[in-house]
Structure 1
Amino acid sequence: MKTSSISDDIVSIPSGNGLEIIGVIRESGRFRILKARMGSKYVTLKTPVSPDAMSVDMLRREYELSVRLSHPCIVSVTGFEKDTQAGPAIVMEYIDGVTLEEFCSGRLSKPSKDRLKAVLHDIMDGVDYLHHRGIIHNDLKPDNIIVTGNGTARIIDFGLSASNDSVYSGCIGGTEGFTAPEILEGKGSSGTVSDIYSIGKIMEFMFGGASYRRIIRRCTSLDPSLRPADIRALKEMISRRDRMPYIFIAATALLVLAGVLAIVLHRQRSGIESQMEDRVQSYSEELADSLSRKKLGKIDSLMLQYGRHLGPLYEKTIDKMKEQKYKEMAQDLCCSA
């Protein structure tokens, strides 16, 4: 992240702290984010713009909540300094990267869809870790996600986060367009589904309206009960959506095979072949209906049954045709099936 020149009211932190301020990374609302040097390494400081009692209390609460977190997709907090020339400060690792907004803008290079998917999974992994520890982030947005040079996403800024074991359990504020409406309007308490809403908005920002349209619509439903209940459910929805093209290709191939077999069996028309043809016809109709309705679970089940019955059936049919000296037709079918 780029740093601007040091403000006039920020010079250097006393040497007793072992910290030297280098510049301002950004300033938002009550707080300022600084880049500093501690010994031989860089660190990030979060300090209040004005060290009033409320700002200091919010800063300390954020430190107490975030210092116990340890996950590769979450910023690491290392300490709290009570007295610096910039005021009280949370000390965090310095992440060399860009915000998700900058990453998606393609100013350096346009990220591929696969890279965007990898970043999305990092975000979900980080949020899942938080939720399993009873923590709701409450302010997930592109500016609060840093993408490093190696493409890893890191979640930052726990200023509005809520914890099950914290005295403070409400969310004050948020970001229009990313924070769940029930939180912004004060009509409900925050929970896992409020973070799910934010992830839906982040997905819309990352992929646009075309990709994951139905999933985004579910995540950002105004009714919290209609959203995916947790990150695991959301991941499953995304996984099924990503598998959809491959499932359709495989299912369509099976339909083609079924059509070939139906033609062959129709020409044979013995009692056994007639039963086989009926079975093929039944599977074909069910599979075609499921494909048209995009019922992935049903397609999976039918494909398993298809594979179990059509594979041996195909081999038996070709063998029988060879026995009946339909060699030329058998070869054609072998090439086209």
Structure 2
Amino acid sequence: MRTERKLTRLDRVFARLDREPERPAHIDVPRMSRHRVVLFAATLAFYGAIVWAVVITSWLVRLDWQVMFFRPYQQWSEIHAFVDYYVVLGQRGPTAVMVAAWLGWRSWRQHTLRPLLALGVSLLLLNITVGAAKYGMGRLGPHYATEIGSNEMWLGGDIFPSGHTANAVVTWGILAYMASTPAARRWLSAVSAVTSLGVGMATVYLGTHWLSDVLLGWAAGLLILLALPWFEPLIARSEARILDLRDRWRTRRQGRTAPASAPLGVPVVLTPCATDQEDAAAREPVSAARSSRSPVYLAPGPHTARSERTPVTPAGSRRPPHPERLQRGSTSSARPLTGG
């Protein structure tokens, strides 16, 4: 009785991947819809309101100082080790590597560069916008505050907005932006929002950021994700140009390795090769005169003993001529006698 092997979960996953088309048609590119424009405008207004509230030293600054004096890292010291590891989810280096690995695998499976290009554009926008805001406003952090109740603006700092929070919003939110289905996009959006807010609160817990820094960082990252559809044409043109350069490079490489062929319309003259000439010479009948002649490499004359032969080469004997040299086996009476 023949039984079929039961497929495991891993087998089903690989079978589904093998059926995946090269360029999935169901993955739609997000567009700048009216709903997205409204969200972008609202987030931008929220961004400006936070900056204005900090600049005028409003109630938000007083709340920052109250949280700082509360010292959460001392109130809940038992979770300090966990928070130290959790805050790594907002560092640009480790998160960019993890997300780039996942999006690179998706690019390879779907034969498209769009996931990696979208990540690159979002990180570039993050560095430009958040970096400019940090150094432009120059706010000092809680550990370097100089005056109680001050907003600590334009004093050479670089913590407003929070880079950890903005980076967490962008790097984890790009997974939701590149999701294949609306359901996956909603779930990933919720997960990325909770993760980024958790990273921001972890920085407040450790005392490295004000609470207003976290709120502004969250708004800065959300603005980048909402503005990505405006850069989709640029991403598409960049992908087409990169793929075109790749095809040209492959064509040039194949042209170098291909053997040179004769141009069309030019007659090709075939000449017999050395092996054909040797075969023809082997098939030629041997004449009587040729057979009676001794080969060059054989000594002429009757058969003699090996000791009596003179080495002969095609050019003659290798021994130099000597008038007094005697042949072996012969004696001479004129041999002078020496001694006495």
User: TM-score normalised to the size of structure 1?
Assistant: 0.20
Larger RCO (CA under 8 A, 6+ residues apart): 2
More helix by share: 2
Bigger radius of gyration, 1 or 2? 2
More strand by share: 1
